Structure 1
Amino acid sequence: MAGSDSRNASPFGGPEEDDSAIISTRGLEAFGRKVTTTAGHLIGDPTSNAHYQTAMSDLHKQLRRPNLQRNVFSFAKTTPTDLVRSKLSTSEIQYRALTYLPDELLRNIPEDENTYSLFQGFQATLPESSPEAKKHRRKISRGRKMLEDDKSGSDTPPSLGKLKKERNTLNHQLEMMGIRKNMASSEIHEIDNKIANLNSMRKIVLERLAGLEQEESMLEHDILDVENRLEDAQEQLEDAEAWKAEVDLEDPDEDAKDASFMSESIYQKLPSASSTPTRPKRHKTIRRKSMPILHEHFDPGSMIREIQAHNDSITALDFDVPFGTMVTAALDDSVRVWDLNAGRCMGLLEGHTASVRALQVEDNIVATGSMDATIRLWDLSKARYEPLDNRINKDGDEDEDHLAFGGDDEAFDPPVGTMIDCPLFTLEAHVDEVTALHFRGDTLISGSSDKTLRQWDLEKGRCVQTLDVMWAAAQASATMGSSEGTWRQTGRVADSSADFVGAVQVFDAALACGTADGMVRLWDLRSGQVHRSLVGHTGPVTCLQFDDVHLVTGSVDRSIRIWDLRTGAIHDAYAYDSPITSMMFDSRRIVSAAGEDVAKVYDKTDGRHWDVGSGVTAEEESRTPAVVERVRIKDGYLTEGRKDGIVGIWTC
């Protein structure tokens, strides 16, 4: 009988049990209808008691049934899992799942400092352009008009109800304004917290990037070392085979000789370290497969590192890539090679007998021009230098100061003998100090105080052409019949401290040269003639650089001029307060040294001038930095050399 009674059936589809029976869905619906009917009777006619008696009697009868009592008691003990597995409707299961909050979430509810309710915040977010807002504004304007009419002496008494209503409206609007202010302030605090968290994450990722780039530099150094050793082994093998073939031709019985003797003979035929051949074989050099990008993530004007490179004024400096290798020269007659990633001195380039006035670094090749009238070439790939991992201090912990910035107390003292194998050859033809040089590929151009330019073939190691600047100026004056080609002896040019040849740059057969008469001459190396002369500067030209379209020059006349190579006209020009001693540009910026304790930066894209260097914050730090003498920039990575021998590295 119980199995046929659907009201007593189990919701899980099984037979009813006395102790664990659960009320069925149909039973719940019937009971709900009873309760609804009873409630309907209760809210019926209050003057009649018949409906109340009828409803309560029916409810009591239903509640006195034993089966219903047992089912309600069993339902109260049912777990949420059993409810989900029961024959509940899908909507109720979804409702229970969405409204369930675990204790962990309830414990971690953030504190709310807002003094207004959630509903007030919702009201405050209503747009001002809504019809309700417009209606409120119209009411406010009418209320103000009524007040003004009352003040003007109107005989009609004001309506107190309307005035109170307008007052309440204004107070409500004022309250909404306060809520909006609090909401905006809360959003600002939340944004500040997010920014602080993002800055912390950025610093962590920046340190990780610095470590990756340092490891990348060490790997590329190892690759270069293996390449050079492989090349040396190949050359030794070829020499051994050539010697063996020669011995076989001279004495067929030589094969019977001991192998150790053959090996000794091979090494006897190799040139000794003391010998200085005219043109030693250059080791294979490789370009960096990936360029450092760490400096791109610093703010413009941020200092990356300061190095006490020399004890005297910097006369020349250059570097290959950001966080790569830098070479500096100073009046203390020393030339130092630096590991920019670690901030350490790799070694000294020794050989010049006087100060180096000009130098260039290209890949692993360095060219230096000195006051001793010689030019020397060096191959840094032969350096016996192992990069140090400065990220780990003596305690084995990561040191932030050595990660990308900061210095090392022992950075000034290089390892002994690291550059002993780097000299390639010496170029000797000038009779006075070399003041400017530039090389590209196997062609090097040098300018000297002997008033000549010389073209050198780096494959043969000799001078292939000499260009007489004074003769070219005289020829141009005679053929053109104008002052454009004459050597202009003005009062400013007579400065004895100015170099006769201030700057040169070569590209294939094109040569640009700036001289002490303020002229910029464009030469054709195929004919050895001046192709064009650019007139504009009123003082000696000290620096120049050109690309496909423009040529930029700096002069003692305190100006920097940008020339259009297609027309020869001045494209742009600007001036500073002191003579320009050095200048260089990359794809976006022109940086220059203009007799101040900062490097001057001109942004070509937006025409903005700004300063980079220690002099920007010198007043706040109560110190006086030295004047910047030389600047170099590549991809926003700026190095500047000062009169006190310090080299500063910045982003711009």
Structure 2
Amino acid sequence: MADQSDEDTAIISTRGVEAFGRKVTTTAGHLMGSLADPTASSHYQNAMSDLHKQLRRPNLQRSVFSFAKTSPSDLVRSKLSTSEIQYRALTYIPDQLLANIPDDDNTYSLFQGFQATLPETSSEGKRHRRRVSRGRKLLEDDGSEADTPPSLAKLKKERHTLNHRLEMMSVRKNMASSEIHEIDSKIANLNSMRRIVLDRLANLEQEEALLEHDILDVETRLEDAQEEFDDMEALAKTPPGADDDSEEAGQVDASFMSESIYEKLPSASSTPTKSKKPKTIRRKSMPILHEHFEPGSMIREVQAHQDSITALDFDVPFGTMVTAALDDTVRVWDMNAGRCMGFLEGHTASVRTLQVEDNIVATGSMDATVRLWDLSKAHYELIDNRINKAGDDEEEEEDAGGDQMPPPSGSMRECPIFTLEAHMDEVTALHFKGDTLISGSADKTLRQWDLEKGRCVQTLDVMWAAAQASATMGSVEGTWRQTGSRVDTSADFVGALQVFDAALACGTADGMVRLWDLRSGQVHRSLVGHTGPVTCLQFDDVHLVTGSVDRSIRIWDLRTGAIHDAYAYDAPITSMMFDNRRIVAAAGEDVAKVYDKTDGRHWDCGSGATAQEENRTPAIVEKVRIKDGYLTEGRQDGIVGIWTC
């Protein structure tokens, strides 16, 4: 038997050598073929070019040779067969990749997953339902069809089919669960990418604000240089003795009006560039960072004052904010950095109302005066401070507070424009548009001011208008319409007003909303509905929204004068404002009440919404302002919160 096995081994070895020899002979014949034969020549050239391409990859050759250690035929084939080399190169997986294969805890195979993805035809489903119903019928008949019992093979087949369907259902459930996990992972990655891009956007807007500040500074210096150049030219062209005549004319003109107002007016002999009318400066680009935050996210909190906020307003998101409080101070804030830019000093009592429009600020005080300020003349250097977004560290929030970094002294020294003095009692409401400003006072009058000349051009007596309305229209208003059982003496006589062109809307303590025509000085229409003093109002092209101490917000249709809608709250409305999408109000709570006009949803925005989770009790919100989804709210403890809304 041993001799027989040795003989077989010799035969096998001889055949292998013969086969190897034939391969070598054939290959050598092709390589050493006649050069006159174009086929042999092209074959040789192609073989050599392929070999040279592969020889340029030494790492690939080493990996291929490591696989070709089994037999001489594999070695020869790996050297001369490009297809073999390409196949092995494509199927080769390095050890590093094999070591990093994640653990798969899936109990189902790839083939089962493929089976589960195949849809079941409707005919199969109907057949299955018919089989199930027939099987149930056979079980329920209890031998009524004993002559034709179901075969054992059919029942086993049906059981197998049902088990297979159940298994496929489990596979589909597992696949759906895996897809959900994969989607969650993708969402987490996208959220991480979103935070990175959001930080990039914040940096871009910060650099943009710094750049615009530099542009404004250069433009101001350019204007000053141009004025100096024009003065030198005018002085060179002015004949001797002309200056004395102009000074005498100026003294004569000054006798007809107050000196404080006259100083603000351009003289007749001065050039147009000498006009003291404040120039409106508009930003070249608007911030959009807040649009990418979740609604209700806190951007920052600022300890603006040490007493209750009485008024606040801002120009644009991340722009300039002005706040006033019972501590008798008016502060200007850089909302982008969360730092105080300076103080508007001049009032001798607390400011009750204010408005910010671009770089112009109007403030009305308990000292019965209205003052105008030009913030473009402020001396304040922007600080490169990144936006304190929702979720940042508390240390950054503390750094953003107004008390940590006092404003530079004298930064607002050149901001005052002029003072409007005509009211006999505290100013409680004001609004300006263009060159027209309307102020309302506890002296029961409304005054119209020309901002270009800085003087009062019309006085509207609210009590006289009410008496005229009662005389001409019967008892619609009465001499003075009483609100409720008794008059609320703590409420402001003029609670709110807004002007646009010749139209004026005014809400007063009797609960009436009067629409005035400034051209005639008469009340055009009176809106009756509130049972308490009106504290806030705002109108657009179609609707007028009012808030009152009677704990309601009413939406009026200006075309008909009827109430379009109304919302009731648990406390008096102290402040209200709306933008294109939302109405926000301060209603005696530690949150701002938000009404979304697009979907009709009411929700709360502010520190009170998360106060229980953070174990703190925020103060009551007194004032709210919203522009383009950017909400600011001032509280009784002097804190101003800035939110996305």
TM-score, normalisation: structure 1 = 0.80
Task: Name the structure 1 match of 2:19.
Answer: none
Aligned to 1:269: none
2:303 corresponds to 1:305: no
Corresponding residue to 1:548 among 541, 550, 555: 541
In the other structure, the counterpart of 1:329 is 324
Q: Distance in 2 between matches of 1:14 and 1:599?
A: 96
Seen in structure 2, the aligned counterparts of structure 1 residues 368 and 473 have a Cα distance that, compared at 3 Å, is same
Q: Flag the 1:585–1:101 CA change in 2: closer, same or farther, 3 A.
A: farther
Which secondary structure state, in structure 2, belongs to the residue aligned with residue 617 of structure 1? helix
Structure-2 change in CA distance of 1:140 and 1:374 (3 Å): same
From 347, 352, 356, the equivalent of 2:351 is 356
- Which of 210, 225, 247 is 2:202 aligned to? 210
Check if 1:494 corresponds to 2:487: yes
Q: Alpha carbon RMSD of aligned pairs, Å?
A: 3.3
Paired residue secondary structure (1:648): strand
Select 2:240's aligned residue among 230, 249, 268: 249
Which of 274, 278, 281 is residue 263 of structure 2 equivalent to?
278
Residues 409-488 of structure 1 mapped to structure 2, 5 A cutoff: 409=401, 410-411=403-404, 413-484=406-477, 486-488=479-481
Q: Is the 8 A contact 1:390 1:403 kept in 2?
A: no
Q: Deviation per CA, 1:596-615: give whole Å up to 9, x if none.
A: 11101111112111111111
Contact 1:549 1:564 in 2 (8 A): yes
The one of 163, 166, 169 equivalent to 1:174 is 166
- Contact 2:536-2:546 at 8 Å conserved across structures: yes
Q: What amino acid does structure 1 have at the position aligned with 2:372?
A: L
| Helix, strand or coil at the partner of 2:240 | helix
| SS of structure 2 residue aligned to 1:531 | strand
CA distance in 2, matches of 1:425, 1:510: 25
For structure 1, which segment, 233-242 or 145-154, has the greater mean C-alpha deviation from structure 2 after superposition?
145-154
SS at match of 1:171: helix
- 1:341–1:404 contact (8 Å) kept in structure 2: no
Amino acid in structure 2 at the alignment position of 1:608: R
Separation (CA, whole Å) in 2 of partners of 1:101 and 1:137: 50
Q: Give how far 1:169 is off.
A: 1.7
SS in 2 for 1:444: strand
How do 1:140-155 and structure 2 match up within 5 A?
Answer: 140-149=132-141
Q: Does 1:371 align with 2:366?
A: yes
Preserved CA contact (<8 Å) 2:77 2:84: no
1:120: how far off? 0.5
| 1:106 to partner: Cα distance | 5.7
Q: 1:282 to 1:492 in 2, by over 3 A?
A: farther
Q: 1:436 to 1:78 in 2, by over 3 A?
A: same
Confirm whether residue 187 of structure 1 aligns to residue 175 of structure 2: no
The answer to whether the aligner puts 1:381 opposite 2:382 as a matched pair is: no
Aligned to 1:386, what secondary structure does the other structure show? coil
* 1:10 and 2:30 correspond: yes
Q: State the SS of the aligned residue for 1:227.
A: helix
| Matching residue within 476, 485, 497 for 1:504 | 497
SS of the residue 2:79 aligns to? coil
CA contact (8 A) 2:206 2:385 kept: no
Deviation at 1:71, TM superposition (A): 12
Tell me what 1:197 maps to. Answer: 189
In 2 relative to 1, CA 146–481 (structure 1 residues): closer, same or farther, beyond 3 Å? Answer: same
Aligned partners of 1:211 and 1:403 also within 8 Å? no
CA gap 1:538/1:163 in 2 versus in 1, 3 angstroms? same
Look up the SS of the partner of 2:132 in the other structure: helix
- Following the alignment from structure 2 to structure 1, what is the Cα–Cα distance between the partners of residues 371 and 290? 32
Residue among 568, 578, 595 paired with 1:585: 578
Distance 1:522 1:73, change over 3 A: closer
Aligned counterpart, 2:67: none
Q: 2:315 matched to 1:314?
A: no
> 2:532, 2:454 → 1: CA distance?
35
The answer for unaligned runs of 5 or more in structure 2 is 1-24, 45-70, 243-259, 266-275
Aligned counterparts of 1:310 and 1:219: Cα–Cα separation in 2? 30
Residue by residue over 1:335-389, the C-alpha shift from the partner in whole angstroms, topping out at 9 and shown as x without a partner, is 0101111100111111100000000000000000000000011111111111111
Helix, strand or coil at the partner of 1:77: helix
Return the alpha-carbon distance in structure 1 between the equivalents of residues 325 and 547 of structure 2. 21
Letter in 1 for 2:383: L
Shift of 1:171: 1.6
Structure 2 counterpart of 1:239: 231
Secondary structure, in 3 states, of the residue corresponding to 1:236?
Answer: helix
Q: Partner residue of 2:638?
A: 645
1:42: which partner in 2? none
Q: Check whether the contact 1:564–1:570 (CA below 8 A) recurs between aligned residues.
A: yes
Percent identity between the two aligned chains: 76
SS state of the match for residue 517, structure 1? coil
CA contact (8 A) 1:345 1:411 kept: no
Q: Distance in 1 between matches of 2:493 and 2:88?
A: 87
CA distance 1:547–1:493, shift in 2 (3 Å): farther
Instruction: Work out the CA distance in 1 between the residues paired with 2:304 and 2:455.
Output: 33
Determine the C-alpha separation between the residues in 1 that align with 2:642 and 2:143.
Answer: 73
- State the secondary structure of the residue aligned to 1:456: strand
8 A Cα contact 1:364 1:380, kept in partner: yes
Deviates further, 474-483 or 101-110: 101-110
The alpha-carbon deviation at position 77 of structure 1 amounts to 3.5
